[in-house]
Chains A and B, each alone.
Chain A
Amino acid sequence: MTKPIRLHDGALIVALLAPLAAAGLHAQDAAAPRLIPVPEVDLRGVDEAVRDQIDQQRGLLEEALARGTPTDAAAEQLGLLFGDAGQLYLVYDLLPAARACLTNAAELQPRNFRWRYLLGSAAEHLGELEEAVETYDLARALRPDDPATAIRLGRAHLELGRYEEARGHYQRALALPGSVAAAHFGLGRVAFETDDPTTALQHFQTALREQPRADSLHYHIALAHRALGNDAAMRAAMELRGEAPVAFADPIAAEIKESATGIGAQLLLGRVALAANAFETAEERFREAVRDYPESAAARRSLAAALEGMGRRAEATMWYQEALNLSPNDVGLLFQTGLLYNNEGRYQAAAERLRRAVEIEPSFGPAWVELARSFGETGDHLEAAEALSRALELAPDDRNLRFHRAGNYRLGGRRELALREFESLLEDFGFDREIVLLLGRIEQELGRPASAARRFEQLVEAGADPPLLSQAHFELGNIRTQQERYEEAIPHYQRAIAGNPTLKEAYFNLGTALGRLGQFTEAALAARRALELDPSDSRARAAEVTALLLAGEDARVRLMLEQTLELPDQGGSGFFALLLAEVLAASEDDSVRDGTMALNLATDLFQRAQTPAHGAVLALAYAETGDFEEAVAWQQRLIENLERAGATEALPDARERLAAYQAERPVRAPWRR
């Protein structure tokens, strides 16, 4: 059934079926938001300026309803517009329409505290106290430590004669900033209603101490004195009675009040311009509002949103921060700035604001998610997983949140936890290639190659998409390589490359496998492919020259190494220089060898780094120049160092070389050993 929404007479919005169905919000869908019709608002006789303001807001809403697109963002946007319309109706005391709009806003944005709170306020104004309690309870669930909600809940229960409940809410408010006086006042009222004037008097007096300007409290103090029979005190207190009520921190109500003034219209004009993509006009309007209302956080926030929409992120960030300075506990602003900082890569700053947002409103799911992003990006994966757990408490069925939490568990080293999480995702949501791939990798990281291989084979059998299939083959190749089953590894690498010709690691690992099988020329070719994909990859370059050396291409290697050393900022230049010295000193190819050059290079390198490898090359170079005495001396020194270091594996080769030097015989092509 189509549920028409009538915003006002003559503006029947049959909207919900067509656009919202398109937006995935079909009324018959149990998961879709259930929107209610907005009662007619008769604006005849209303001042033109007010009518225009309301009409413009209605126009935005109708336009959004008509435009509905199949994205969650459309519902989000619609929620905002319903909320804005509800606020406006609330400002102008059009309560039934306000209630309907805010109901829809809360339906579309169930985690938005503001809509719930204002809905409670509308119900309260309509005298629907039960509904107000119900709605404030929902608001409280979203923001448990909001003082205004606690006070209003206490008051609603008091009005309903539910003194215990009222007392509970007021007690809670005692601990919240900005509500202490109101909480004591409420507790006094409860005590007075329940015939406990002594306690009532204490609370009223405490409230007055907390908020001396609330001189209406003297009236209640007087009544408590009267009930206690303190006639003189009663009269004295009554003399002091004024009309200033007990106030409490209620920023949303204050903002609504502010909306009734000119700024509301000014901001609306800006928003209208923004909706029409007239960014410059919107910016101009918002800048006017900022200038005219220097204390208005809303004006700054609107300007920031416009600038953000125009891609002027740095300016937007500045204005969000300005708004935040005026309204430091505004959760929406904290989130917005956190989001911006995250997008700019300023993760620490983002985390700081987002953490404040969730401290104020622990039920603010998107803030937890963004906070997880901040943590994750700074490598604090377990904190990220924790933040995602908080988000999941609010949306336990959210697959993406669970997926990302599992990913963070993995990256944070909690691999068993990650494994279980991913497996439960498979159970809950069915086969998923990406998750199977990740499971295989985690098994691999946990040192269970057989299990890992089964996962990847499962993926291969399932006929995954080319990129995922490549990944699976790549991983299988790695497992086989680790198992030294190079013949089996090679076809997997080849299939990985066939599925994804840009998979550099596959080329590299293919080269390794080929090298292990003695196919050095092919190995060098594979390394060359990897190097072509990433010319800065010194590992690939090293693999290529190593393979060429093993293939006996010493002259080519010498040339390549000399060219490499001339490249600017060549990573691993120390390695390549040492290798060149070694080739110059020990190549079997006479045309390649050059003892003097080798000795100069090796001496120079040794001055920079005194490692056993450097010592060994120096010895090789001395031997090549015929200075076997020095060669023996350096080789003996090397052997002493190896013995001291317990590097027994290297000793036989070292001693063999020593024997050669003592026999005044140079060493040739030691890399082949």
Chain B
Amino acid sequence: MRWSCPGLALAGLATLSPAIVRAGAGEVLFTDATASAGLDFQHWNGMSGNLYYPEVVGAGAALFDYDNDGDLDLYLVQGNFLGNEGDRSSATTPWTADRPPRDRLYRNDLELGDGRATVRFVDVTEESGIAAAGYGMGVVAADLDNDGWVDLYVLNLGANQLWRNEGDGTFSDRTEASGTGDPRWSVAAAAADYDGDLDLDLFIVNYLHFSLATHKTCLTERSEIDYCLPSAYQPAPDALLVNDGSGRFEDATVAAGLAAARPGNGLGILAADLDGDRRLDFYVANDLMPNHLWRGGGSGQLVEDGLISGAALNADGEAEASMGVAAGDYDGDGDLDLFLTHFHRETNTLYRNDSKPGVAQFRDRTNATGLGRPSWDATAFGTGFVDLDNDGWLDLAAVNGAVTFAAGRPRTEDDPFPLDQPNQAFLNVAGGGGGRRFEPAPAGLLDAETPFVSRGLAAGDVDNDGDVDLVITNNNGPVRLLLNRADPDADWIGVAPLLDTSRGRRPASGVTVRVHRTGAPPLVRLAGGGGSYASWGDPRVAVPAGVRKVDRIEVQWPDGMVEEWPATPPRAYTPLVRGTGERRDEREDDAP
């Protein structure tokens, strides 16, 4: 029996296997802790049978510490009913719960005992005051008003919402006051300091112009009615909102140069210094259009260099249906490479970073690293460079789910949403000639008994044990929490890059962390900055420290400043506050 959305409430829990444990490659081990952690969220896409495009696009999740208690809480984005006729009860999978569909906030009440933490999530949505009842897509978790408390920016089909964290467990809707209510269809955003003024700006990725009035009926090659592809609609331009430091934003889209580029069907974004010039860049994943690489120029201007950097099109020179994006140093050469997730009959694509400072250069190394064929059949969304097996090399996770029946199975009355696909993980292994390549992890590593229509992937150390856990969101399906159990006794070092603000410390975003080790190249990690798909992950960094001695830790801040700290204590996350380390900027004029 295939899982089909039975409604909502707790019924979904019954469909999940209790604590599914899957081992792979001898070292990879995840435990499905969804039920034991008390996560009962089910996404509802509100489909009415009319195949409205947004139904297949959402939704994501955010891992963030909303109560500053040192562990990661969870925000989950919800859909809603779509249609001019009928209501929630008349949907293909009717909404049967008493309360209306809304995004949910779960507090992590991590319990310590027997040397291992037990994750318990408590639904605190009601007391938080968050009433996100739009048709949700994605979410960003960042301290947007510099008060030391992480706020939430929710991306919607329709106006986005900014939920200000009041620091007392509640949130208030500051959308209007902040000027962040972009009315278009947004799926993802990056909160990052684009102008170097030490507050977080918002780069909002908009998808395309859709409304129920402009809804189109699309047909496959076999003349089957199916969900549309993005080419059926006009792309919606992205937006850059600049923070004045207090949580109020000005639209700098034109001033920053974003209007100079042809709009794309944006679905994914991350912020990082990709070209090694110590200035923050933005990489935007566009669906079936060339991806954008917005390079920071230091003058408040962003320059779109996707094409000339080789990161916009695959090796064939073709634009792919990019959905999710991840940045990580897969080959240990010290820079951040890019991984893009794509539609079926396209490969996911790995762009190796060959940049020299100030000269962005990427090269498609998908097939050379073995990532081509395994992703051919999948439609992949959420993704991340994650050290799944704690060997210090960044592996890849990609969660999958079709968007058309043509890529899935025919739709029937019993199976109205047959878009489920298995998720995938790829382990980073030594390749020929000293390089690196990826091998598919055993099938089922990231799946329940039956696959779902996966979309979001938020990676973070949910149980604070130094490895990366995964939250996978499923369209019209249950959220899943997979706890990494690779090697519970291994030593690790964790750091939390923070910025001091006038009212508290906040997690940094788009920070490059380099962990220098004796006799081995540094481990390079991106902290914050977004990525994946419609989701936001842990802004902290943890690396294994058992095999190689850690000498020092270097942090490159978004404004170009580089600081260094000695090795931090093991098995804990140590705050590294900007301005408290040893400056390592080599030359004054290096600073942007």
User: Which of B223, B368, B376, B406 is close to A127, meaning CB atoms less than 8 Å apart?
Assistant: B376
Q: How far is the CA of A189 from the CA of B405 in the complex (A)?
A: 34
Contact call B368/A93, Cβ cutoff below 8 A? no
Q: How far is the CA of A94 from the CA of B377 in the complex (A)?
A: 14
Count residues of B near A (Cβ-Cβ below 8 Å).
Answer: 28
Tell me if B373 is interfacial: C-beta within 8 Å of chain A.
Answer: yes
Given A161-B367, A161-B368, verify A216-B317 contact (CB < 8 Å). Answer: yes
Please give me the residue from chain A that is nearest to B354 by CB atom: A227
Given A45-B410, A161-B367, verify A129-B308 contact (CB < 8 Å). Answer: no
Q: How far is the CA of A50 from the CA of B225 in the complex (A)?
A: 13
Residues of B within 8 A of A219 (CB): 307, 313, 317
Given A127-B373, A219-B313, A226-B361, verify A260-B221 contact (CB < 8 Å). Answer: yes
Residues of B within 8 A of A43 (CB): 222, 410
**How many whole Å from B588's CB to the nearest CB in chain A?**
27
Which residues of B305-331 have CB atoms within 8 Å of chain A's CB atoms? 307-308, 310, 313, 315, 317
Given A127-B376, A161-B367, verify A50-B308 contact (CB < 8 Å). Answer: no
Please give me the residue from chain B that is nearest to A225 by CB atom: B308
**How many whole Å from B363's CB to the nearest CB in chain A?**
8
Please give me the residue from chain A that is nearest to B219 by CB atom: A47
Among the 9-residue stretches A27-35, A234-242, A592-600, the one with 4 or more Cβ atoms under 8 Å from chain B is: A234-242
Which residues of B355-382 have CB atoms within 8 Å of chain A's CB atoms? 361, 367-368, 372-373, 376-377
Tell me if A432 is interfacial: C-beta within 8 Å of chain B.
Answer: no
Q: How far is the CA of A125 from the CA of B223 in the complex (A)?
A: 20
Contact call A94/B222, Cβ cutoff below 8 A? yes
**How many whole Å from A228's CB to the nearest CB in chain B?**
12
Please give me the residue from chain B that is nearest to A93 by CB atom: B221
Tell me if A44 is interfacial: C-beta within 8 Å of chain B.
Answer: yes
Q: How far is the CA of A413 from the CA of B309 in the complex (A)?
A: 72
Given A47-B223, A159-B367, A161-B368, verify A241-B307 contact (CB < 8 Å). Answer: yes
Which residues of A170-194 have CB atoms within 8 Å of chain B's CB atoms? 189, 193
**How many whole Å from A232's CB to the nearest CB in chain B?**
12
Which residues of A185-209 have CB atoms within 8 Å of chain B's CB atoms? 189, 193
Residues of B within 8 A of A49 (CB): 223
Tell me if A46 is interfacial: C-beta within 8 Å of chain B.
Answer: yes
Residues of B within 8 A of A431 (CB): none
Q: How far is the CA of A222 from the CA of B317 in the complex (A)?
A: 11
Residues of A within 8 A of B315 (CB): 189, 193
Contact call B308/A238, Cβ cutoff below 8 A? yes
Contact call B221/A45, Cβ cutoff below 8 A? no
Tell me if A92 is interfacial: C-beta within 8 Å of chain B.
Answer: yes
**How many whole Å from A648's CB to the nearest CB in chain B?**
91
Residues of A within 8 A of B411 (CB): 45
Residues of B within 8 A of A193 (CB): 315, 368
Tell me if A220 is interfacial: C-beta within 8 Å of chain B.
Answer: yes
Q: How far is the CA of A581 from the CA of B247 in the complex (A)?
A: 136
Residues of B within 8 A of A50 (CB): 222-223
Tell me if B224 is interfacial: C-beta within 8 Å of chain A.
Answer: yes
Q: How far is the CA of A216 from the CA of B405 in the complex (A)?
A: 31
**How many whole Å from A608's CB to the nearest CB in chain B?**
82
Contact call A127/B377, Cβ cutoff below 8 A? yes
Q: How far is the CA of A31 from the CA of B392 in the complex (A)?
A: 55
Tell me if A160 is interfacial: C-beta within 8 Å of chain B.
Answer: yes
User: Which of A93, A129, A235 is close to B220, meaning CB atoms less than 8 Å apart?
Assistant: A93
Residues of B within 8 A of A245 (CB): 317
Residues of B within 8 A of A93 (CB): 220-222, 406
Residues of B within 8 A of A234 (CB): 308
Residues of A within 8 A of B307 (CB): 219, 222, 238, 241
Residues of B within 8 A of A153 (CB): none
Contact call A45/B225, Cβ cutoff below 8 A? yes
Q: How far is the CA of A235 from the CA of B361 in the complex (A)?
A: 14
**How many whole Å from A253's CB to the nearest CB in chain B?**
15
Tell me if B116 is interfacial: C-beta within 8 Å of chain A.
Answer: no
Q: How far is the CA of A94 from the CA of B221 in the complex (A)?
A: 10
Residues of A within 8 A of B405 (CB): 45
Contact call A92/B345, Cβ cutoff below 8 A? no
Residues of A within 8 A of B345 (CB): 125, 127
Residues of A within 8 A of B549 (CB): none
Residues of B within 8 A of A189 (CB): 315
Contact call A44/B410, Cβ cutoff below 8 A? yes
- What DSSP secondary structure best describes chain B's contact surface? loop
Residues of B within 8 A of A92 (CB): 221-222
Tell me if B412 is interfacial: C-beta within 8 Å of chain A.
Answer: yes
Residues of A within 8 A of B583 (CB): none
**How many whole Å from B375's CB to the nearest CB in chain A?**
9
Residues of A within 8 A of B223 (CB): 46-47, 49-50
Q: How far is the CA of A460 from the CA of B308 in the complex (A)?
A: 88
Tell me if A223 is interfacial: C-beta within 8 Å of chain B.
Answer: yes
User: Which of B224, B317, B347 is close to A220, meaning CB atoms less than 8 Å apart?
Assistant: B317
Residues of B within 8 A of A129 (CB): 372-373
Residues of B within 8 A of A159 (CB): 367, 372
Tell me if B548 is interfacial: C-beta within 8 Å of chain A.
Answer: no
Please give me the residue from chain A that is nearest to B317 by CB atom: A219
**How many whole Å from B367's CB to the nearest CB in chain A?**
5
Tell me if A397 is interfacial: C-beta within 8 Å of chain B.
Answer: no
Given A127-B376, A159-B372, A219-B317, verify A47-B222 contact (CB < 8 Å). Answer: yes
Please give me the residue from chain A that is nearest to B346 by CB atom: A127
Tell me if B584 is interfacial: C-beta within 8 Å of chain A.
Answer: no
Contact call B412/A44, Cβ cutoff below 8 A? yes
Q: How far is the CA of A129 from the CA of B376 in the complex (A)?
A: 10
Contact call B308/A47, Cβ cutoff below 8 A? no
Given A44-B412, A127-B373, A223-B310, verify A160-B222 contact (CB < 8 Å). Answer: no
Given A92-B222, A93-B406, A127-B345, verify A226-B377 contact (CB < 8 Å). Answer: no
Given A50-B223, A219-B313, verify A42-B410 contact (CB < 8 Å). Answer: yes
Max chain A C-beta neighbours (<10 A), residue from B223, B313, B345: B223
Please give me the residue from chain B that is nearest to A130 by CB atom: B373
Q: How far is the CA of A219 from the CA of B318 in the complex (A)?
A: 10
Tell me if B409 is interfacial: C-beta within 8 Å of chain A.
Answer: yes
Residues of B within 8 A of A223 (CB): 310
Contact call A235/B308, Cβ cutoff below 8 A? yes
Which residues of A125-139 have CB atoms within 8 Å of chain B's CB atoms? 125-129
Q: How far is the CA of A158 from the CA of B372 in the complex (A)?
A: 12
**How many whole Å from B318's CB to the nearest CB in chain A?**
8
Contact call B224/A45, Cβ cutoff below 8 A? yes
**How many whole Å from A69's CB to the nearest CB in chain B?**
34
Which residues of B265-287 have CB atoms within 8 Å of chain A's CB atoms? none
Q: How far is the CA of A109 from the CA of B436 in the complex (A)?
A: 44
Residues of A within 8 A of B310 (CB): 223, 226
Q: How far is the CA of A260 from the CA of B220 in the complex (A)?
A: 12
Please give me the residue from chain A that is nearest to B407 by CB atom: A93
Residues of A within 8 A of B222 (CB): 43, 46-47, 50, 92-94
Cβ proximity bits B38-55 to A, threshold 8 Å, 1 near / 0 not:
000000000000000000
Residues of B within 8 A of A222 (CB): 307-308
Q: How far is the CA of A607 from the CA of B310 in the complex (A)?
A: 99
**How many whole Å from B282's CB to the nearest CB in chain A?**
20
Contact call B367/A160, Cβ cutoff below 8 A? yes
Max chain B C-beta neighbours (<10 A), residue from A92, A94, A125: A92
B binding-site residues for A, Cβ under 8 Å: 219-225, 307-308, 310, 313, 315, 317, 345, 347, 361, 367-368, 372-373, 376-377, 405-406, 409-412
Q: Which 7 A-B pairs have the closest CB atoms?
A: A127-B376, A47-B223, A219-B317, A42-B410, A92-B222, A46-B222, A45-B224
19 contacts between A and B (CB under 8 A): A43-B410, A44-B410, A44-B412, A45-B405, A46-B223, A47-B224, A92-B221, A92-B222, A126-B376, A126-B377, A127-B372, A127-B377, A128-B373, A158-B367, A159-B372, A160-B367, A193-B315, A219-B313, A238-B307
Supply 9 further A-B pairs (C-beta < 8 A) apart from A42-B409, A127-B377.
A46-B223, A93-B220, A94-B222, A126-B376, A160-B367, A161-B367, A189-B315, A193-B315, A226-B310
A binding-site residues for B, Cβ under 8 Å: 42-47, 49-50, 91-94, 125-129, 158-161, 189, 193, 216, 219-220, 222-223, 226-227, 234-235, 238, 241, 245, 260
